[in-house]
A and B are shown apart, each in its own frame.
Chain A
Amino acid sequence: MEKDHKPEMSFHGGRDPVLGQAGRHGGSEGKDHKCECAEVYRDIGRVLQAHKGEKDSLIEVLHYVQERLGYIPKDVQVRIAQTLGVSLPEVYGVVSFYNAFSEKPKGKHVISCCQGTACYVRGAPEVLARLEKELGIKAGDTTEDGLFSLEVVRCLGACGLAPVITVDDETYGRMTADKVPAILEKVRRGRGEVEKVAGS
């Protein structure tokens, strides 16, 4: 998702998939703005429609939205509540309970910093602190420019390389706080010379 391209604002007048009415920007369908979002929202609408009235499908629907949008926007939460017949606090309760769902858009790159036991005793807190400092955000948040999200995870299954972080699907082992700036710089530039432990 590009910056300033918030899905809340991007229901560009596609026909509402559930009600069959025009959305907020009704009438301008496809005219001056063609984007993926309207289509994504239409797809979400279709999935919602298929689960209409099914309270038990809440998590399934949330997974779908998370996958398509990278987070669960508030307007989608409202729509899920109304279509599935679940209360809004319940939808939000589930969204905020599970790590698998995010309330805010994820950045282009997702950094996961392991705080599991092995990583923790080998200095993961310092790595996390440095990541937070360099990115200027707290764990769980996304940078202003939408480039990075920082998450804390409990184990990445690479304890032999502790402490470990991942950036998207690349793994960096034997981390130290001092390695953080170079890794971020590399990701920003798209490539780099930082020692990388592949695979795992």
Chain B
Amino acid sequence: MVTLTIDGKQVTVKEGTNVVEAARAAGIDIPTLCYLKDVNAIGSCRVCVVEVEKSKTLQAACVTQVQPGMVVYTNTPRVRRARRLAVELILSEHPYECPTCPRNLNCELQTLAERMGIRHVRFQAKKDPKPIDDSTPAIIRDPNKCILCRRCVAVCQKIQGVDAIGPFKRGIDTAIGPAWGETLADSPCVQCGQCVLVCPVGALYEKDYTEEVWKALSDPSKHVIVQTAPATRVAIGEEFGLPYETVSTGKMVAALRRLGFAKVFDTDFAADLTIMEEGSELLERLENGGPLPLITSCSPGWVKFMEQFYPELADNVSSCKSPQQMFGALAKTYYAEKAGIDPSSIVVVSIMPCTAKKFECQRPEMTASGYQDVDYVLTVRELARMIKQAGIDFQDLEDEEYDAPLGISTGAGVIFGATGGVMEAALRTAYELHTGKTLPSVDFEPVRGMESIKEAEIQMDGTTLRVAVAHGLSNARALLERVKAGEKYHFIEIMACPGGCIGGGGQPIPTNDEVRQKRIAAIYKADRGMPLRKSHENPAVQELYRTYLGKPLGPRSKKLLHTTYRWRHVFGTMVEKAGAAVWPVDQAAGGGGQA
């Protein structure tokens, strides 16, 4: 432990702590902009400068480690002047488009300017407009607003291990983006949106489909239905000032009805269905000897990551579509038949915690119903905007229930939203289907929580099941390297985003580890509150099999609920486009994936 003095206060912190964190421990908030705890500390924005006794120059607190006896001043005229100058210089290059910016009122630069009382910017840089990259269906990059903090680069590289973007050129020409100035769509970007969550300004944001959804809702010839992902209910409240850990399921359903959706359904229903299919797939593979481990396929960011970096494991990945896509396929077949509605007039909207779901719904594989199964994906942030536009007082809404049948679900469906949840839900069902016995306890604690890779062994009537869970794609990579090195598992859950879907790229901002923990707590609270907690006990799922699908992995299930994967280049399509694939690249074994 190291003891130092900050603004006259004695603070004792762990060795290696930086001055920003030490000050926060002492209740002193040093302003930061490029700093991102545990991810990005590069001292580049100069907003966190402090005076350190015996140092001639001001020091950036985020890259200054505590020293015994150090004396730090965080609020002197010199510090205030320097910080102000730093923010003014950043503002001098920044477009003043705050009222129309997607991050208006939730922007770190705006907040800093306000906090420093900047009423006038003394400098004006030349602002040549740069093209906006809206090449992907999920994420928009506006380099005009970029302040070059490199938080997105750090997350993409360190947390996700995707390395789609980096800083280029030098000085005034410095820019962030994929190599060679290519677009995100041609890069290996998996569209997870973690960059969107850490962008302090409006340089990275989701592609907004609210206008399309409004249009569909006001079209009397359309039957517009909506599904809500498990992780949305524990986050939407944040957008309306409700405290963290609030489960807003009932209010969200009520709000969606007010918006005019004909039916409000739940992706949790499809999550239960996923467990039936994937659990059966696991049992089948255990019986037939493989291929094992079976790896989950719910996370579209992970699926694209696998197609790029681990195509040789494509046969290990469950052929199950994600719950969103299972729902879409059933909405325009089973539901359409049951309700007697022409599927061509059905518009399926998804509320997702995810940006990659926007990409997923546009994949050419996702048309099992004969139409694009899911028409529009809205992030939680977009839904919140629609609710605000409609003038709905979210806080005061009375709880309402989902519609039957695609709104009926169990606690197993809810926990899909947290890392380890799909694993736990699958175990609850696989155990009972395999052994024919009732579980003594439905809670599988070892697969819960924020630990980077979680492992567990489960006894199922003499069979020992070895399972592992990874969240965040760097962790996934570490786990898959273990698998390739010969480590034996039966079942692996991978989620692209840290914390699972509750930490998805479409969730309210801020989403940091503290917030993730709270949303996870809310997910398990929601699970405990459900009368049914095992997917195979879901009566609507049982009826679906009885009256329509037949049995899990049956022909109709295979057609509607399962998919295939494709090989993608590790550096994206930009490499072929640039004619830069002349040297044969390592396409490794099984280069084509599953067609």
Chain A contact residues, CB within 8 Å of chain B: 8-9, 11, 16, 18-19, 21-24, 73-79, 81-82, 87-93, 96-97
**Is residue B75 contacting chain A, with contact meaning CB distance below 8 A?**
no
Chain B, interface SS category: loop
Q: If the complex has contacts A77-B179, A92-B166, A93-B166, are A23 and B571 also in contact, measured as CB distance less than 8 A?
A: no
Q: If the complex has contacts A8-B580, A87-B157, are A78 and B166 also in contact, measured as CB distance less than 8 A?
A: no
A9 neighbours in B (Cβ, 8 Å): 582
Q: Tell me the complex Cα distance, A13–B170, Å.
A: 37
Give A23 Cβ to nearest chain B Cβ, in Å: 7
Q: Tell me the complex Cα distance, A82–B163, Å.
A: 13
Cβ B164 vs Cβ A11 within 8 A = no
Q: Tell me the complex Cα distance, A65–B495, Å.
A: 40
**Is residue B96 contacting chain A, with contact meaning CB distance below 8 A?**
no
Cβ A87 vs Cβ B166 within 8 A = yes
**Is residue B433 contacting chain A, with contact meaning CB distance below 8 A?**
no
B586 neighbours in A (Cβ, 8 Å): 19, 82
Cβ B571 vs Cβ A78 within 8 A = yes
Give B165 Cβ to nearest chain A Cβ, in Å: 6
24 A-B contacts (beta carbon < 8 Å)? A8-B580, A8-B582, A16-B584, A19-B584, A22-B584, A24-B582, A74-B575, A74-B579, A75-B583, A78-B571, A78-B575, A78-B580, A78-B583, A88-B163, A89-B163, A89-B179, A90-B163, A92-B168, A92-B180, A93-B167, A93-B168, A96-B168, A96-B169, A97-B170
A92 neighbours in B (Cβ, 8 Å): 166, 168, 179-180
Give A33 Cβ to nearest chain B Cβ, in Å: 15
Which of A16, A90, A91 has the most chain B CB within a 10 Å cutoff?
A90
Give B175 Cβ to nearest chain A Cβ, in Å: 9
**Is residue B105 contacting chain A, with contact meaning CB distance below 8 A?**
no
Which of A9, A18, A73, A78 has the most chain B CB within a 10 Å cutoff?
A78
Chain A, interface SS category: helix
Q: Tell me the complex Cα distance, A73–B165, Å.
A: 19
**Is residue B98 contacting chain A, with contact meaning CB distance below 8 A?**
no
**Is residue B485 contacting chain A, with contact meaning CB distance below 8 A?**
no
Give A48 Cβ to nearest chain B Cβ, in Å: 10
B570 neighbours in A (Cβ, 8 Å): 82
Contacting residue for A78 out of B157, B168, B178, B581, CB 8 A: B581
Residue of B nearest to A48 (CB): B583
Q: Tell me the complex Cα distance, A179–B164, Å.
A: 47
A24 neighbours in B (Cβ, 8 Å): 582, 584
Q: Tell me the complex Cα distance, A90–B580, Å.
A: 16
A78 neighbours in B (Cβ, 8 Å): 571, 575, 580-581, 583, 585
**Is residue B578 contacting chain A, with contact meaning CB distance below 8 A?**
yes
Give A200 Cβ to nearest chain B Cβ, in Å: 28
Interface size of B by Cβ–Cβ distance < 8 Å? 25
Cβ B584 vs Cβ A89 within 8 A = no
B167 neighbours in A (Cβ, 8 Å): 89, 93
Q: Tell me the complex Cα distance, A149–B578, Å.
A: 22
Contacting residue for A89 out of B166, B578, B582, B583, CB 8 A: B166
Give A72 Cβ to nearest chain B Cβ, in Å: 11
Which of B157, B163, B584 has the most chain A CB within a 10 Å cutoff?
B584
Q: If the complex has contacts A88-B163, A90-B163, A97-B170, are A23 and B584 also in contact, measured as CB distance less than 8 A?
A: yes
Residues 563-595 of B, flagged 1 when their CB comes within 8 A of A and 0 if not, give 000000011000100111111111000000000
Cβ B579 vs Cβ A8 within 8 A = yes
Residues 545-579 of B, flagged 1 when their CB comes within 8 A of A and 0 if not, give 00000000000000000000000001100010011
Cβ B166 vs Cβ A90 within 8 A = yes
Give B185 Cβ to nearest chain A Cβ, in Å: 16
Residue of A nearest to B173 (CB): A96
Residue of B nearest to A97 (CB): B170
Q: Tell me the complex Cα distance, A11–B167, Å.
A: 30
Extra contacts, 12 of them, besides A23-B584, A88-B571 (Cβ < 8 A), are: A8-B580, A9-B582, A11-B582, A24-B582, A24-B584, A73-B580, A78-B583, A78-B585, A89-B153, A90-B166, A91-B179, A96-B170
A93 neighbours in B (Cβ, 8 Å): 166-168, 179
Residues 366-385 of B, flagged 1 when their CB comes within 8 A of A and 0 if not, give 00000000000000000000
Give B184 Cβ to nearest chain A Cβ, in Å: 12
A88 neighbours in B (Cβ, 8 Å): 163, 179, 571
Contacting residue for A87 out of B163, B168, B585, CB 8 A: B163
Q: Tell me the complex Cα distance, A93–B579, Å.
A: 19
A8 neighbours in B (Cβ, 8 Å): 579-580, 582
Q: Tell me the complex Cα distance, A49–B581, Å.
A: 18
